């Protein structure tokens, strides 16, 4: 059972009552995951902010894309590892373990993605996400061409850049507010 204390170090309690649409969304989370992710609880002090966050997240991570769900989660983990974001490493590490069926892959991506047995496509994608996270102003056409050579379309490159950018933003918010990961994530797919 998740501790229902505030999910961050900030005193921003969830709206009470939650609007019916938000409550339904949270109920679906409980049904599918067994809990409401703390990142959603953190944003629920302001329903408009929660809706904006979830709309962007759902579009980037769940909508149709040339990137698989696993690839998008791999980006989330690698970006979060570089940024040392505890919340996202725990939550998205669990997702990588679940989607890949490989607990070692999740651990490798968290520690150092370069030791993971990745194919050329995945390596190029994660190298690009890494460079974008650490030195985005140095990305040039040859960096995008490496992705094309690995089989990514320009639309896929857009998606890689947007997933990377989203997690750089959310990592910083999670770290700055001391967002706590749900304890349930730690045991998932091990």
Determine the Cα–Cα distance for residues 151 and 137; give it in Å rounded to an integer: 24
Residue range(s) in the chain whose domain bears CATH number 1.20.1290.10: 69-187
What are 44-68's pLDDT values in tens digits?
999 999 999 999 999 999 999 999 9
User: Is pLDDT above 70 for 124?
Assistant: yes
Taking the C-alpha atoms of residue 92 and residue 161, their distance in angstroms, rounded to an integer, is 18
The pLDDT value recorded for residue 4 is 60
The pLDDT of residue 113 is: 97
What local confidence, expressed as pLDDT, does residue 17 receive?
A: 95
Give the pLDDT confidence of 63-115 residue by residue, as tens digits. Answer: 999 999 999 999 999 999 999 999 999 999 999 999 999 999 999 999 999 99
Which residues are CB-contacts of 162 (< 8 A; sequence separation ≥ 6)? 60
Cβ-contact 38, 181 below 8 angstroms: yes
Tell me if the bond preceding 17 is cis, omega within 30° of 0: yes
Q: Which CATH architecture best describes the domain 69-187?
A: Up-down Bundle (1.20)
Q: How far apart are CA 108 and CA 123, in angstroms?
A: 13
pLDDT at 1: 35
Which 8-state DSSP code applies to residue 113?
G
Within the chain, all domains assigned CATH 1.20.5.810 are found at 20-62
Fold of 20-62: 1.20.5
């Amino acid at each position: 059972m998740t501790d229902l204390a505030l999910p961050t170090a900030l005193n921003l309690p969830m709206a009470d009552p939650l609007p019916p649409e938000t409550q339904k969304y949270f109920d679906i989370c409980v049904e599918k995951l067994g809990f409401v992710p703390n990142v959603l609880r953190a944003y629920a002090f302001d329903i408009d902010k929660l809706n904006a966050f979830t709309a962007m997240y759902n579009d980037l991570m769940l909508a149709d894309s040339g990137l698989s769900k696993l690839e998008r989660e791999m980006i989330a983990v690698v970006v979060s590892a570089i940024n040392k974001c505890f919340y996202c490493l725990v939550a998205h590490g669990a997702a990588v373990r679940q989607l890949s069926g490989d607990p070692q892959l999740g651990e490798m991506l968290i520690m150092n993605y370069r030791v993971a047995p990745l194919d050329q496509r995945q390596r190029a994608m994660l190298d690009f996400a890494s460079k974008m996270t650490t030195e985005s102003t140095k990305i040039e056409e040859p960096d995008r061409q490496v992705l094309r050579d690995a089989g990514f379309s320009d639309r896929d490159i857009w998606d890689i850049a947007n997933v990377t950018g989203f997690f750089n933003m959310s990592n910083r918010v999670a770290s700055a507010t001391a967002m706590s990961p749900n304890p349930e994530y730690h045991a998932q797919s091990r």
